[in-house]
Amino acid sequence: MKKVERERRQSVGQSGNSNNMFGGTSVWTPMSWRLSLKPNITNKVQAVHPRSRQGYTTPITTASETNAMALSFEVLGRFNRARAARLTLPHFLCQTPLFMPVGTQGTIKGLTNSQLEDIGCQIILGNTYHLALRPTSELLDEVGGLHNFMNWQRALLTDSGGFQMVSLLHLADITEKGVTFQSPVDGKPMLLTPEESIQIQNRIGADIIMALDDVVKTTITGPRVEEAMHRTLRWIDRCIAAHTRPHDQNLFGIVQGGLDPILRDICVKGLVERNLPGYAIGGLSGGEDKNSFWRVVAQCTAALPEDKPRYVMGVGYPLDIVVCSALGADMYDCVYPTRTARFGTALIPEGVLKLKHRKMADDTRPIDPSCPCMVCKNYTRAYIHCLVTKDAMGSQLLSYHNLYYMMQLSRNLHSSIVEGRFPEFVCDFLRKMFPNGDVPEWVCDAMEVAGIDISSCCASFSSCKEDDSNSMPKEVFPFKKKMPLGLILGIGRAFRRKRTSSLDILSSKRAPRGYYKGKNCKPTGFHTRKGGYVVMQEKLPNYVVPDLTDFKLKPYVSQCPLEVKTSQASQTAK
């Protein structure tokens, strides 16, 4: 308790000095001292949370009177929890739901601003931490902000730098004062406090700025999650006090609390009491299961105000965006569309299309025949296949197509909600992505909570909730078809690790590469230790470990080129 109190005193400048992001020695500047002493910003009201460990208390600072909102949010249509709105920002009028591509250092890799405008990009996301390192916030302030620096006339959003607590955890040290990073450029320690984060974002000049939050991985449980949630609430008050441009920049708070619904509820209530211009749902898309993911989104969107935008951070998969929009979210960001493009993958209504695959070399169709983007109109899959394997232009074309797909998805979500056909749009989207009706169970559950009937796009509405193993054929072996080598070796390794009596018949050593070959030079099975030969299947959907208790081995007949060569070599030696 004494340690916590000492850290809190240091965080408000009562003791201790440290290097900040600008190389100085003082954490609090004279300007920030004057801001903290404004008479109309009070820190007198104390809110004691029931699950607070070590007696944490959270001062409540209301932003309604001092931080005039630089946005307007007007709901144009809704279907149950889903809503379409008009979001008016200082630099642009946006329509939600909307997706924001990530330009960490003020640029989308491989694309120009005119191309981004052509595809309908409304907001670009930048990162405070990286922009503070290069080109530095002082330079951006001199040229009039990031809008002028990158010549972008539409809206910008800057992250607070809190995500680097996870992505650069080996370089960061988190205390009540702030986050101390080891610079990846020169290795020097840099302190990022809530005040510093807001000051940098004030210099950058984005339309929406994010409060610094204490981010932990979703896979972490225990006291660290609760500590991060309470620290996030304490830091939001320091961010509000340091915010000098409330009339042209909107400060969003971030809901934390991991996968614990009680902690999430405490954080939502604490942020709503501050009456911020908008709210973000953070701490997701970090490895948690989809069932937990959508439940956290549903809980937070239900508790957040109806007249404020809701932003789910780090969400970029098309299916996730459709589900979150049905649950009442408005804004999303992710590197997924552009990053997967650099790996040669295109987004299409059916899922993804891997352009590096060999079979694309002779495919003269467009990436997506239904897509009206410049890439699909002018280039074939075969041409882009040649580019992605040899030329950087392929990544640029795929980034253009993928972002166009995401913007088109956002526009379709907006129009379907406004026109009252959102359930039909969702069913059509799922029908294209899951033509066999095998919609994931978590999607079915989420749509049920959202009040959308998707039974028409499922093979059986109840079947999507059943265990996948129930639909497996009872007789797994023997198989007449062949199976890819990667899956064969994976099964073999799993069997070798599990030394049970029913699996003991398989060899502890796999057959040499090329040992058994059928047509098209594909492996057909395993050589067992008891002189038998297991014939494998080419494709095994929804694979589960088979039960080999009653399995009968086929007689082994050697047709191995390797054995023939070995025998010939032995005869030569004789």
162 annotated as ligand-binding: yes
Give the closest residue to 527 by CA, choosing from 537, 545, 515, 538: 515
Do you know the residue count of the chain?
574
249 annotated as ligand-binding: no
Give the closest residue to 286 by CA, choosing from 343, 225, 234: 225
d(CA 74, CA 323): 22
167 annotated as ligand-binding: no
256 annotated as ligand-binding: yes
77 annotated as ligand-binding: no
Q: Which stretches of 12-63 are DSSP H helices?
A: 30-36
182 annotated as ligand-binding: no
What are the backbone dihedrals phi and psi of residue 194, each rounded to the nearest 5 degrees, phi first?
-55, -40
Give the closest residue to 241 by CA, choosing from 196, 190, 308, 191: 196
Q: Is 333 a catalytic residue?
A: yes
Q: What is the DSSP string of 516-545?
A: S--GGG---EEE-TTSEEEE--S--TT--P
560 annotated as ligand-binding: no
Which among 159, 214, 330, 368 is annotated as catalytic?
159
Residues 6+ apart with CB under 8 A from 224: 216
How are beta strands 93-96 and 82-88 bridged, if at all? antiparallel
Q: What is the DSSP string of 183-235?
A: PTTT--EEEE-HHHHHHHHHHHT-SEEE-------TT--SHHHHHHHHHHHHH
Tokens of 353: 């299309």
d(CA 251, CA 308): 12
492 annotated as ligand-binding: no
170 annotated as ligand-binding: no
3-state secondary structure of 165: helix
160 annotated as ligand-binding: yes
Kind and range of the H or E run holding 99:
strand 98-101
d(CA 181, CA 174): 9
Contacts 24+ apart (CB under 8 A), 418-426: 418/76, 418/77, 418/84, 419/77, 420/77, 420/79, 422/79, 422/82, 422/326, 422/452, 423/79, 423/452, 423/453, 426/322, 426/326, 426/452, 426/454
Q: Are 59 and 237 in contact (CB under 8 A)?
A: yes
Tokens of 442: 């978590």
Alpha-carbon distance values, 125 to 105, 324, 380 (Å): 9, 19, 31
CA dihedral sign of residues 126, 129, 133, 137: positive
d(CA 403, CA 120): 9
Q: Which residue has the tokens 């594909």?
A: 522
Residues 6+ apart with CB under 8 A from 373: 119, 400, 401, 404, 405
213 annotated as ligand-binding: yes
Which among 214, 333, 368, 445 is annotated as catalytic?
333
Tokens of 82: 């889903």
486 annotated as ligand-binding: no
Q: Is 159 a catalytic residue?
A: yes
Instruction: Tell me the binding residues.
Output: 159-163, 213, 256, 283, 371, 373, 376, 401
Q: Which residues are catalytic?
A: 159, 333
Instruction: Tell me the binding residues for Zn(2+).
Output: 371, 373, 376, 401
Instruction: Tell me the binding residues for substrate.
Output: 159-163, 213, 256, 283
